């Protein structure tokens, strides 16, 4: 398949629904070629359903000329390596392919880990982001200098704000934030940056599961805890991730950007 018009290639995990799906759509609308990665199957360890093959197909259908699906479990290092390899093979490498690219063009590759789980799956989140980093960052570094790459992750307001009955989730998201800060230092001078967003209560299936754990009637009950007085939409988180993937974030690395409606205040 030909490279996208701008030559920008992204790999997005957790792409079948929620913030991941919104991120795929935002990047594709901005001209990126996107490999949309998701397990697209249930997990017997979790008491709620994950995204399905139909969900992933619907995301691809919104921009079939730019988005390609890839079914993989991000807990499996071999599967993540295969996903990154697919992006390299399909679009001729993970990175900016524009031969007229200037050193400061800011047209990078982006590797975005957007999947999230609560309850039993929370403990796996830092490991999943680390697995993605171990596969993605070497691919970004394989690009010739001057290179431009973005490694992005989704933390949570729970990384800095303690939430009752969700100790494992809070610890997991704090781990993601710490990993991003460390990567920001380690990647200094390489042309690759690492940043994250830290969402507040966002209208996703995971928030509905949190409502169930707390015995609340629905996810909307969480809106009152945010100063903006409403739940966030996945597209609002995705918009900031798209910004972090683009040229405007060239001076940022190791940052964990709150997109939380004021929840952490």
d(CA 33, CA 27): 8
Q: What percent of the chain has pLDDT over 90?
A: 61
Residue 163 makes CB contacts below 8 A (sequence gap 6+) with 169, 170
Q: What is the pLDDT of residue 124?
A: 57
Contact call for residues 51 and 17 (beta carbons, < 8 A) = yes
Indicate whether 103 pLDDT > 60.
no
Answer yes or no: 214 catalytic. no
Sorting pLDDT into bands at 50, 70 and 90, what band is 263? very high
Q: What is the pLDDT of residue 94?
A: 54
Question: Which whole number is the average pLDDT over 109-127?
Answer: 61
Contact call for residues 206 and 200 (beta carbons, < 8 A) = no
For residue 55, give Cα distances in angstroms to 36, 66, 181, 202.
Answer: 11, 17, 32, 18
The residue annotated as part of the active site, out of 137, 169, 219, 259, is 169
Q: What is the pTM for the complete model shown?
A: 0.88
Sorting pLDDT into bands at 50, 70 and 90, what band is 95? very low
Question: Which whole number is the average pLDDT over 36-63?
Answer: 88
- Judged on CB neighbours under 10 Å (0-12, 13-18, 19+), 57 is middle
Per-residue pLDDT reduced to its tens digit, 4-41:
334 789 999 999 999 999 999 999 999 999 999 999 98
Question: Which whole number is the average pLDDT over 196-206?
Answer: 93
Report the first-to-last Cα separation within the chain, whole angstroms: 46
Indicate whether 1 pLDDT > 50.
no
């Amino acid at each position: 398949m030909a490279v996208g018009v701008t030559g920008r290639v992204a790999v997005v995990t957790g792409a079948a629904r929620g913030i991941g799906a919104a991120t795929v759509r935002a990047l594709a609308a901005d001209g990126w070629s996107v490999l949309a990665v998701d397990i697209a199957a249930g997990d017997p360890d979790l008491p709620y359903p994950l995204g399905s093959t139909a969900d992933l197909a619907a995301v691809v259908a919104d921009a079939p000329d730019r988005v390609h699906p890839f079914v993989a479990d991000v807990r499996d290092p071999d599967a993540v390596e295969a996903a990154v390899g697919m992006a390299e093979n399909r679009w001729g490498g993970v990175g900016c392919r524009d031969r007229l690219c200037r050193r400061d063009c800011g047209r990078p590759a982006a590797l975005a880990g957007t999947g999230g789980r609560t309850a039993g799956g929370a403990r796996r989140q830092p490991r999943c982001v680390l697995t993605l980093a171990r596969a993605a960052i070497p691919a970004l570094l394989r690009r010739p200098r001057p290179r431009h790459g973005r490694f992005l992750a989704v933390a949570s307001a729970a990384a800095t704000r303690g939430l009752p009955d969700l100790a494992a989730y809070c610890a997991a998201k704090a781990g993601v934030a710490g990993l991003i800060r460390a990567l920001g230092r380690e990647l200094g001078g390489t042309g690759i940056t690492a940043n994250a967003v830290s969402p507040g209560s966002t209208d996703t299936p995971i928030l509905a599961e949190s409502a169930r754990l707390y015995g609340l009637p629905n996810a909307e009950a969480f809106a009152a805890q945010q100063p903006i007085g409403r739940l966030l939409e996945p597209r609002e988180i995705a918009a900031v991730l798209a910004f972090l993937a683009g040229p405007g974030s060239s001076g940022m690395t190791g940052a964990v950007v709150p997109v939380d409606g004021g929840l952490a205040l």
